[in-house]
Amino acid sequence: MSGAESTAGVRVGRRTEAAATATVERKRPPVRPGRIVLHAFLALTALAFLFPLLYAVFTSLRSYADTAARGYLSFPRELTLENFAKAWRTGDIPLHFLNTVVVVLPSLVLILLLSSFVAFGLSRYRIPGRRILLVVFTAGNLLPQQILLTPLYQLYQLIDDSDFMYDRGWYVYDSYWGVIAIHVAFQIGFCTFVLANYMQALPEELTESALVDGASAWRQYWGITLPLCRPPLAALATLEFTWLYNDFLWALVLMSSGDKRPITSALNNLRGQFFVDNNMLAAGSLIIALPTIVVYFLLQRHFIRGLTLGATKG
């Protein structure tokens, strides 16, 4: 299996040129041979992209003893789920999954709620400087996170050193709230941008007629605008879930206790335990990747819409 795969990998390079020339030479009517080359090229490329994951599945199902004795490219003598059990225990996976839930769910709710507030305000009221505000939100989300890192780390320390926090035994550094706060602050930029665009495109008569009927701002927002925004909200929820789940940096830097870290950041502590045994590494990686893969298969449409909403609608 793997042998065929890798020759496929070599072939992909040549196919690229073949397909490129095919596109150049072929004029409007689709010629049969060109179509076949195109199919072959795309199928091989798709397979090459799936290959690392398929190989991970293959490796994760084999016992270490089997691969140690006969190599990773041999035909498996037996398949086992033992590596998954081992990775689950070694990596303290349930604990870190729970941390992920504790960080991701509140962040997600707050991000969508707060950004829809701003988007509603900016698209429905003539707030002075609203364009500048929109730029501030949008541009902030494009900053590389490392730019904020040092001051943010210091800011959290300073807050914790204040008498107010100290007397109450509260702290933001090394806390779930600290990580949630930066997730919310950073991600509302992107969501505000997408939602404001969407709300601006909604017919203004909708809220105007509600206004005439005497509906409060809250009713215009909650009762009229938000239900109409279900498509972008679904897209953003899917996309943001994946981004928050995949966050590595914030929890790594803003938390010092390894056992508080969400699953993705915990990967850094798991490295030493996992890297000695490729079978367990494969199983562990798949367990951790599974939630986003499941979301991808179930909600692919929303995921793609989320990305392209942000990118193609100015």
Partner 1 sequence: MVGVPTIINLCLVWLPALASVVLSFTRWDGIGLEAIEWAGTRNYEEIVTTYPPFWPALAHNVIWLAFFILIATPAGLLLAVLLDKGIKGTRIYQSAIYLPVVLSLAIVGFIWQLLYSPDQGMINQLFNIEVDWFGNPRINLWAVLVAASWRHVGYVMILYLAGLKGVDPTLKEAAAIDGASEWQAFRKVVFPAMRPVNVVVLVITVIESLRAFDLVYVINGGRNGLELLSALVTQNIIGEASRIGYGSAIAAIMLVISTVFIVVYVTQILREEKA
- Residues of span 1-60 touching partner 1 by CB under 8 A: 2-3, 6, 16, 19-20, 23-28, 30, 35, 38-39, 41-43, 45-47, 49-50, 52-53, 55-56, 59
Q: Establish if 142 lies at the interface with partner 1 (CB under 8 A).
A: yes
Q: Under rule CB under 8 A, which residues in 157-186 are in contact with partner 1? A: 157-158, 181-182, 184-186
Q: Which two tokens stand for residue 130?
A: 């609203």
Q: Under rule CB under 8 A, which residues in 220-239 are in contact with partner 1? A: 221
Q: Under rule CB under 8 A, which residues in 239-278 are in contact with partner 1? A: 242, 245-249, 252-253, 264, 267-268, 271, 274-275, 278
Q: Under rule CB under 8 A, which residues in 202-221 are in contact with partner 1? A: 217, 221
In contact, 118 and 184? CB cutoff 8 Å: no
Q: Under rule CB under 8 A, which residues in 76-105 are in contact with partner 1? A: none
The whole-angstrom separation of Cα 249 and Cα 179 is 10
Q: Which residues touch 260 (CB under 8 Å, ≥6 apart)?
A: 99, 174, 175, 176, 251
Q: Give the binding range for partner 1 (CB under 8 A) out of 91-99, 110-118, 162-170, 224-232.
A: 110-118
Residue of 8, 72, 97, 165 interacting with partner 1 (CB under 8 A): 72
Neighbours of 60 (CB within 10 A): 24
Q: Establish if 303 lies at the interface with partner 1 (CB under 8 A).
A: yes
Chain-centroid distance of CA 59 in Å reads 25
| C-alpha distance from residue 258 to each of 156, 175, 251, 263 (Å) | 18, 11, 9, 10
Q: Give the binding range for partner 1 (CB under 8 A) out of 78-86, 100-108, 149-157, 206-214.
A: 149-157
Q: Under rule CB under 8 A, which residues in 278-297 are in contact with partner 1? A: 278, 281-282, 284-285, 288-289, 292-293, 295-296
In contact, 6 and 44? CB cutoff 8 Å: no
The string of DSSP codes covering 127-141 is: -TTHHHHHHHHHHHT
Neighbours of 11 (CB within 10 A): 15
Give the shortest CB-158-to-partner 1 separation in angstroms: 7
